[in-house]
Each structure stands twice: as structure tokens, then as C-alpha cells.
Amino acid sequence: MKQEFYNLQIDTSGQKLYEFTNQTIEWIKKNNFKNGMLNLSIQHTSASLIVQENADPDVQTDLINYFDKLAPMDNKLYVHTTEGKDDMPAHIKSALTNSQISLSIREGELLLGTWQGLYLFEHRLNPQNRTIIHHFIGN
């Protein structure tokens, strides 16, 4: 049984979905992981992780539009507005999605569906530097 850690850095340029599936698969192959669990976690409270369709970019547009309606950027609605109009809405969006995702690896393959990809869901408007921790346990 072995454990490995990897910190993936992603620079964002505003609110959108940033796919990191290929970087994760490359790390799995580079380390020759065979069977085990991969836990992904993001160390930020204004961005999140999601598994989502990666075939049609309209899905991403619709997700962003939906979450913007669910948590509008209107400071009159919130007490916590320290960092601007996107501050509290970003926290709400990350609370409704995931800060961690666990996925299986079998025979060296990350078990995702045909049209599924791994995404950092950036909820802030300004550029950010995000860290996604990859933790593998298995063989």
C-alpha cells in the first residue's frame, strides 16, 4: 500500500469552470498507480470542485448562469461583503458544491464516465491562484 500527494496549481482568470482532468490522469500514469482511491480537495472557500460533462460547453454556461441566479452578486442581500460583490455569492456557491471529491482508480484508469471531466469551479471574478490537493492511496 502506498500514498502519494500532489498539489496542482491552477491560475484562474475569473468566474468559470477550469478542467483539470488531463493533468490528473498524467499524474496517475506518471506514478504508475494501479488500484486505489484518489481524493481531491481544494483549499479555498470561494471555489469548488465538480465532476461535470466535458463534451458540450453550453453545460458550463448554463451552470454559471444558474448559480449566478441562485446567489446573485448584490451586496444589499448580504452582511459579509468585505471583498466585493462576488464575495458572499462565492461562499454560497462553494457551500452548495464540493470541496472534496473521491474517485476510484482501477487498473491504472481513473473511473470517470464517457462525458465526465474534473473541474475547478471558480466563483470569484478576479484572477486567483488555486491549489487542488491530490491524495492517492492504493497500489
Region for 14 from its dihedrals, namely left if φ exceeds 0, alpha if ψ lies in -120 to 50, beta otherwise: left
pLDDT value for 61: 97
Question: What count of other Cβ atoms lies within 10 Å of the Cβ of residue 107?
Answer: 7
Pure H helices in the chain: 21-30, 57-70, 87-96
| pLDDT tens for each residue of 65-91 | 999 999 999 999 999 999 999 999 999
The model's pTM is 0.96
| pLDDT tens for each residue of 17-64 | 999 999 999 999 999 999 999 999 999 999 999 999 999 999 999 999
Residue 28's Cβ-count burial label (10 Å; 0-12, 13-18, 19+) is buried
Residue 100, classed as helix, strand or coil, is: strand
